[in-house]
Amino acid sequence: MPKAQPRRQRRKEARPAEIMAAGLKLFSERGFAATRLEDVAEAAGVSKATIYLYFDSKAELFKAIVRDVAGSRIGAVEEFIGRFEGTTVDLLTGLFRSIGEVTCVPEIRALMKVVLSEAGNFPDIAAFYRDEVAFRGLGNVARIIERGIARKEFRSCDPVATAQSVIFPIIMNALAQEVFGAKPEIDPDKFLAGHIEFILRGLAADKEQRA
């Protein structure tokens, strides 16, 4: 039987996750500018010096949170797209389900809230989120639309522009949930069902194109 890790070692390995969780909570509640690393250290139950063992600055802590919370999920979506062999309609529908599940994750909504509120004052973190999350997500949707066009399942259109029409309403719905809370008017399941129907009707190839 393998020996259990000493409690101190287990605690050391858990610290980065604990620090990131505390950081995201404070960034969301107070804003990036108003949150000090001292505050994060206190919330995580560690010293400020301990934070610097893992993160060089507050900005690097935020970037690590983005990679951990959002980057890993986008990577899973990219793997799903790469191995999918069915119709593009089924692929896009499956992607919607995945996006719907992801946008219901409180940490994801908190990240979007922080970026939206702090982008003007901290363009570097906004640019990082744009490149690591937003543009990767748009690129994945554009790839799916290009696939559908090539297979004559979708009508000819600008894949990148159309991807924005797909993604941006989903982001706004998620932000509305974060800002206003659970309300019947912004029910995420009803919204996604209606949105995917709207998108698929708009993308559908006409009979002449499919022939």
pTM: 0.79
Residues 94-117 have pLDDT tens digits of: 888 887 777 778 888 888 888 888
Spatial distance between the Cα atoms of 50 and 39, rounded to a whole number of angstroms: 13
Angle at 181 between CA 173 and CA 163, to 5 degrees: 10
Residues 155-210 have pLDDT tens digits of: 999 999 999 999 888 888 887 877 787 777 778 888 888 999 999 999 998 765 55
Burial class from Cβ neighbours inside 10 Å (0-12, 13-18, 19+) for residue 170 reads buried
Domains and CATH numbers, the chain: 1-55 (1.10.10.60), 70-210 (1.10.357.10)
- Residue 183 corresponds to which tokens in the numbers above? 């309300």
Which is more confidently placed, 6 or 21?
21
Residue 11 pLDDT class (50, 70, 90 cuts): low
CB 55 within 8 A of CB 44: no
